[in-house]
Chain A
Amino acid sequence: MNSRGYFLIFVFTVFSLILLGRLIHLQIIKGEYYYEKSEKNHLRVVVLNAPRGNIYDRNGILLAYDKPSYNLYTFPYITKKRLKILERNLKRILNIELSKDIKEKIKKGNSLKVVIKKNLTDKQIEKFFRYSYLFTGIYLEVQPRRIYTEYARYMPHLIGYVGYPSEKELKENPKLRPDTLIGKSGVEKIFDRYLRGKYGTKGMVVDALGRIKEIKWENLPKRGNDIYLTVDARIQKIVYEAFKNTGEKSGAVIVFNPDGYEILALLSYPIYDIQKFSDGLTKEEWKEIIKNPYKPLLNKALKGIYPPGSIFKIVVGLGALNEGVITPNTRIYSGGKFKLGNFVFRNWNLGGCGRVNVMEALETSCDTFFYQISLNLGVRNITKYTKLFGIGEKLNPEIEKRVAIVPTPEWKRKRFGKPWYPGDTIVYSIGQGYLSITPFDGAKIIAPIANGGKIYRPKLLKAVHNRDTGEYKETEKVLIRKLPVKQEYIKTIKRGIYLVVYGNRGTAKLLSLSPVKVAGKTGTAQVIRKKDPKQRVKKWKYQNHAWYVSLFPYDKPRFAMSVFVEHGIGGSKTAVPITKYIIDELYRKGIINEKY
């Protein structure tokens, strides 16, 4: 046993001799060599960011591109001790003032790069090089900067923005580098895989003060692909101006090409300055955006959910026809009120509608008609048809952000612990109660009426263009399903919403003044319950939401549009005028009859 103990001593001794030998080798024999290496040579590997691809609209109008921008940066361990002098030189020569934040970062930091100033002017760059000896430890780097053209400024939510990856994103994708710009939202994010190029690297030998001594290698980056969106920048601009010129505060517009659900325009209003946002906002600018009660940062088109109100009658009407609850000619007496047990459900117009069929009921937006048919149709059927329209699901998960709430008795029990009452079905039938949809879903309601019952995967990407190989690849339209309903019934509904514009009692008669034949359905969704429907509320946030979904030109619809005005009081009052503005402008500019 003790012999093994001695062996242990032997092992220790031999091991220590090996280490001592190694230390002699490293520190004495090659000490000078390593000393010089440590003094002079630090290898610095710099990532060369690849330019992102350009973004174009469907007609090739440029929306976003990369432009080199020059940034100043430093490594704190080099400049920490000479911060005062550098600060003075920066101020005197380049007129750059170091913010408290940056100074703090330099004082506390070490080997992590600190960016001092972004987007230098040409003059600053020239001076920086002329007086480079005064800026030891400060470097100039070229970073691609994302520039958004004038047209892109009407669609900040759609385009999104780019930024550096978060820690979470870095973890999830090991190929990312901390200083690679990636899409953070919108198209920049959805199609990041096309837009982002492949970064290159540059290895440089730098001395203790960070001066470049030698370039060891340089792998050039590969630029990303260009993409063409289905969006028409001109339509987007018109849509934006419609909101701006009618003076409405908040809302969303979605324009589809019903054949293929190509997104021609997608607006969330108000907008924000996409360029400023991408370059980085100051604290004050940020505060201002956050404080804005109309929430410019929220993409209401895709992320806001609201009760749809009467635009939902399109779905209920079609369902009732198809389930045989009514025929196109069934007339039902629909008064000013509908009683169910002790409960009274009012028509929006207490005068009632008389004996009406489904087309006339759509024309006048007759609530009591739909109350009555809804009881025969039943909650399950209403939900079934809603889902067939693609509401309550993401037809394109890449684009759609939020799923509508489409209630069922099971859902209600789970959510509220209460059974489903017939009264729930009644309010459901006019798009109130638990049902909540996005403005984007509004377009999903109207588009199948325009195209004869086809549900497509919403499409935002028209084509991808690889500039290096010249390859240009168009994306196909994808048919998801056809509504299992008779064409006749779709035509009935279409006729009904035609009467909304051209009938004597229509709720969107204003549109009949338009040079384009149009059909559509108004919607006014209650935000708070009111004892008296005529009671007026002053506060913006308690006013009703306004909707108008439309298709035009009526005979051969090439556009399906959803207009949503948040707290817009009434469909006829605000959503219809906006629709008219858009259609008139499309006509005036000749876009209505253009070929796609």
Chain B
Amino acid sequence: MRSIKNILTIYDPIILLIVIFLIFWSILNVYSATFHEYSNLYIKQAVFGVIGLTVMLLLPFIDYRKVLNLSPYLYLIGIILLLGVMLFGKTILGAKRWINLGFFMLQPSELMKFIMILITAHLLDDKKSISLKDISIVLIITAIPLILILKQPDLGTSIMVLLPVLVILFTAGLPKRYIFGAIGLFISLAPFIWQHMKEYQKKRILAFLNPEADPFGSAYHILQSKIAVGSGQLTGKGFLEGTQSKLFFLPEQHTDFIFATIGEEWGFLMSALIVLLYLILGIRIVLWGLKIKHIAGKYVCFGSAGLITLQAFINISMTVGFAPVVGITLPLISYGGTSLITFCLIIGLVLSVIAEYKREKIHF
């Protein structure tokens, strides 16, 4: 008995409970969003949920530093997989993002998020302050997968691969002049970027900026998604009772727009709770990061928290009409095996950092 209790103490209960709740919530809502169109997506999601949870619970038994040391190899594997997508990838809805493994459609770009957290933390380990050289190395290392993912094309995921890297650089004490410099550069380059965007991307941004201009084209999704969320009112229409999210002709109602289903069927109470859960999850992980002494461990925490919470918030912003539509999933809830398992890996790694900290504390 004691040993089981001992084992359980290495986990952070709050993180664990939130993750389990979100995965359960995912299965429920994937079912609701798809039962009328597909028969078994929720079962697949449940299977991935179990696999993901198992991986997450097992990771804390491995010293995360060993995993960090493996990160260059993992990075290479990730790049090879991305190249594999380019060569043998499966095209769905005009984008080449998946490798068909027969039983499973692997999306290596999702996995890359995990790998980028690892390698960035690994590269910046033991650095009290970061130099221009460190920053350059990290950015070059990031640029390679970023370009490969942009080519697929998948703007959403490439932003989300970059995001944790930026968060880590930021928390590593990136000098303010670089931050402002980067922002200035971005603004001055914006017209150039605009010119090089794909037609559909421009349309989405225009639709976001001015939805009334073209309510039946690109802005249609945003409008319909807003109606779905809004129509949920305080308590929602009830499980499986949403009409809007099922009728609104969105191909992504179970992936990118799953929050619309939640908003419509469960109302404000549940939607707000979901937002709060992501907030608590993020804060909790950051707080652990503040406590931990080992620098790479800190970065793992900060990067992971930044990725999970910000990705969730950006996805929700999209659904409520606050951000242009880019393909970004709601972490742990959106349908998709690779995405779910990637986030389980990331949280598993965070739990491993925490467990290591707890173990050391006991020993001392």
Chain B residues within an 8 Å CB radius of A24:
268
Shortest C-beta distance, A35 to chain B (Å), equals 4
B302→A5 contact, CB < 8 A = yes
Whether A129 sits at the interface, judged by CB under 8 Å, is: no
CA–CA, A13 and B287, complex, Å: 13
Chain A residues within an 8 Å CB radius of B167:
8
CA–CA, A101 and B227, complex, Å: 35
In residues 1-51 of chain A, which contact B (Cβ within 8 Å)? Answer: 1-2, 4-6, 8-9, 11-13, 15-16, 18-20, 22-24, 26-28, 30-35, 37-39, 42-43, 45
Whether A593 sits at the interface, judged by CB under 8 Å, is: no
A30→B230 contact, CB < 8 A = yes
- Who on chain B is nearest to A43 by CB? B216
CA–CA, A110 and B246, complex, Å: 9
In residues 259-314 of chain B, which contact A (Cβ within 8 Å)? Answer: 263-264, 267-268, 271-272, 275-276, 278-279, 282-283, 286-287, 289-290, 298, 302, 305-306, 309-310, 313
Shortest C-beta distance, A7 to chain B (Å), equals 8
Shortest C-beta distance, B85 to chain A (Å), equals 21
CA–CA, A33 and B231, complex, Å: 7
Chain B residues within an 8 Å CB radius of A591:
none
Shortest C-beta distance, B268 to chain A (Å), equals 4
How many residue pairs link A and B with beta carbons under 8 A? The number is: 131
B231→A35 contact, CB < 8 A = yes
CA–CA, A580 and B305, complex, Å: 89
Which of A5, A20, A38 is close to B231, meaning CB atoms less than 8 Å apart?
Answer: A38
Contact with A along B203-241 (1 / 0, CB 8 A): 000000000000110000000001111111110000000
Shortest C-beta distance, A139 to chain B (Å), equals 16
CA–CA, A43 and B36, complex, Å: 21
CA–CA, A15 and B310, complex, Å: 8
B322→A22 contact, CB < 8 A = yes
A5→B290 contact, CB < 8 A = yes
Whether B138 sits at the interface, judged by CB under 8 Å, is: no
- Who on chain B is nearest to A112 by CB? B249
Shortest C-beta distance, B312 to chain A (Å), equals 9
Whether B338 sits at the interface, judged by CB under 8 Å, is: no
CA–CA, A12 and B302, complex, Å: 12
- Who on chain B is nearest to A174 by CB? B199
Chain B residues within an 8 Å CB radius of A13:
279, 283
Q: In which size bucket is the chain A interface?
A: 35 or more
Which of A1, A31, A38 is close to B298, meaning CB atoms less than 8 Å apart?
Answer: A1
Shortest C-beta distance, B202 to chain A (Å), equals 15
Chain B residues within an 8 Å CB radius of A2:
290
CA–CA, A77 and B36, complex, Å: 9
In residues 124-172 of chain B, which contact A (Cβ within 8 Å)? Answer: 167, 170-172
A8→B230 contact, CB < 8 A = no
- Who on chain A is nearest to B267 by CB? A27
Which residues of B approach A to under 8 Å, CB–CB? Answer: 36-37, 167, 170-173, 215-216, 226-234, 243-244, 246-247, 249, 263-264, 267-268, 271-272, 275-276, 278-279, 282-283, 286-287, 289-290, 298, 302, 305-306, 309-310, 313, 316-317, 320, 322
- Given A16-B313, A27-B230, A34-B229, 10 other A-B residues pairs in contact with their CB atoms under 8 A: A4-B171, A5-B171, A16-B276, A19-B313, A23-B268, A23-B272, A26-B229, A34-B230, A39-B231, A39-B243
A sample of 26 inter-chain contacts (CB < 8 A) reads A1-B171, A8-B282, A8-B286, A9-B283, A12-B282, A12-B309, A12-B313, A15-B310, A16-B278, A19-B320, A19-B322, A23-B271, A23-B272, A24-B268, A26-B320, A27-B229, A27-B233, A27-B234, A27-B268, A31-B233, A31-B234, A33-B230, A35-B231, A77-B247, A110-B36, A110-B246
